[in-house]
Amino acid sequence: MKLLYTDFADKATLRDLSKRYQIPGFNYCLIKEGVAQPVHAYGVQNAETGEPMLPSTIFEAASLTKTLFACLVLRLVDRGVLTLDEPIAKLAPNVQVSQDERIQTITARQVLSHGTGLPDWDKKPYLKFLFDPGTSYSYSGEGYYYLQKIVNEITGKDFTDHYWDEFLKPLGMTHSFPVWEPAVSEIESRKHDAKGALLPDRRHLDLEGDAPEPNAAWSLYSGAEDYTKYMLEILNAHGHLSDAMFREMTTPQNKATDGVFWGLGWGIPAKDPNVIWHWGDNGGYRSFTVMDLKTKDGACIFANGFQGNDMEIEFLDYLTDGDFWPDVADFVAHAE
């Protein structure tokens, strides 16, 4: 995949995308041959006040959180803290999420490639399996959350501290947070519904439901300016992983659909195995990232409206020569 533009900021195109998909605002960054281009911001953070979107504005990054967690786990494998293929339950027997004996067989590889058989979200400690681990694909936030709890136990270190120490501080992601704190609300965009109307704000830790913060599946707060720094870490430094772990991360491990495979933490289009991608969807916050490991071209987009993923995929289809976007769009439409 190659970017067709070294940089792009055509106001007519951005205005058309925003209007058709009812997205009040978004920011994005393109990467060309491993070099980040200027971060662009379009529209507003708040449809009622008209507060302008900024390059540094952040959003709920949603499932883009998973890409950092996968890299963290693979770093821990490199360090000998755990392995990809040994059952993780025995590492922390006190972490209980299911009464089904199959929980004893789940591996880190299965978690990161969505092959555990666990549901996306449900009641713990009574999670029910959708299939035997390692036999199929089903997108599972629960799998990531379970492995997060295991990692916390075996390292004696909380998920949030891992994110600060492994990524946010060393990469200079100064406007990103692994979990909500008051500083988030000062620089975070508001979210909007499918018609572009403002939705209620949340100014507290989300501790309710089946997927509370901190959460390896969704609780990162970031935006195009900061997340691009992580993309460059992957493109130019291979995530500071060993060659073997980087190959594992970027090699198809599981088949999601005929057009989409899954590596360890990343989607891989069947039509272009040099490409890795992921999307984020937390209601009125939508995001998307894509990178070509061969050309080192890529992009990330963060939007504040319900139809953001559709807009982002159309925009990326326009910006690149990739022929896999219909397959990716179909997957995203049915993934959760």
Residues 238 and 299 in one domain: yes
Instruction: Tell me whether residue 165 is in a domain.
Output: no
- pLDDT surpasses 80 at 198: yes
Residues 142 and 219 in one domain: no
106-140: pLDDT as tens digits: 999 999 999 999 999 999 999 999 999 999 999 99
Instruction: Tell me whether residue 168 is in a domain.
Output: no
Q: For residue 82, give its domain range.
A: 69-159
Positive/negative CA dihedral, 315, 42, 46, 223:
positive
**Over residues 145-157, mean pLDDT:** 98
Residues 309 and 294 in one domain: yes
Residues 88 and 28 in one domain: no
Residues 26 and 94 in one domain: no
Count other C-beta atoms under 10 Å from residue 94's C-beta.
Answer: 6
Residues 217 and 134 in one domain: no
**Over residues 66-90, mean pLDDT:** 98
Domain count, the chain: 2
Residues 229 and 298 in one domain: yes
- From 159, 176, 197, the end of a domain falls on 159
Q: Would you place residue 49 in the very low, low, confident or very high pLDDT band (cuts 50, 70, 90)?
A: very high
**Over residues 153-160, mean pLDDT:** 97
Instruction: Tell me whether residue 174 is in a domain.
Output: no
Residues 217 and 318 in one domain: yes
Contact in structure between 328 and 257 (CB atoms under 8 Å): no
Contacts of 155 (CB under 8 A, 6+ apart): 76, 81, 162
Rounded to a whole number of angstroms, the CA Rg of the chain reads 19
Tell me whether strands 35-36 and 285-292 are parallel, antiparallel or unpaired: unpaired
Instruction: Tell me whether residue 231 is in a domain.
Output: yes
Count other C-beta atoms under 10 Å from residue 68's C-beta.
Answer: 27
pLDDT score of 191: 97
Percent of the chain with pLDDT over 90: 99
Token pair recorded at residue 172: 């200079």
Q: How far apart are CA 288 and CA 95, in angstroms?
A: 32
Mean pLDDT of the chain: 97
pLDDT score of 19: 98
- From 159, 187, 202, the end of a domain falls on 159
Instruction: Tell me whether residue 54 is in a domain.
Output: yes
pLDDT score of 214: 97
CATH number for the domain harbouring residue 220: 3.40.710.10
Residues 330 and 224 in one domain: yes
- From 127, 159, 191, the end of a domain falls on 159
Contact in structure between 248 and 264 (CB atoms under 8 Å): yes
Token pair recorded at residue 136: 């199929």
**Over residues 218-223, mean pLDDT:** 98
Residues 21 and 131 in one domain: no
Token pair recorded at residue 329: 């769009």
Instruction: Tell me whether residue 152 is in a domain.
Output: yes
Residues 240 and 140 in one domain: no
Q: Which among 214, 331, 322, 211 is positioned nearest to 279, based on CA atoms?
A: 331
Q: Which among 25, 36, 42 is positioned nearest to 3, based on CA atoms?
A: 36
Give the CA angle between residues 12, 192, 37 to the nearest 5°: 45
Q: How far apart are CA 17 and CA 268, in angstroms?
A: 26
Instruction: Tell me whether residue 2 is in a domain.
Output: no
Residues 330 and 230 in one domain: yes
Kindly state the helix (H) or strand (E) to which residue 300 belongs, with its residue range. Answer: strand 298-303
Contact in structure between 267 and 261 (CB atoms under 8 Å): yes
**Over residues 51-59, mean pLDDT:** 98
pLDDT score of 336: 77
pLDDT score of 253: 98
Instruction: Tell me whether residue 130 is in a domain.
Output: yes
**Over residues 255-273, mean pLDDT:** 98
Q: Where do runs of H (alpha helix) occur along the chain?
A: 11-21, 65-78, 108-112, 141-155, 159-163, 182-187, 224-237, 243-250, 308-319, 325-334
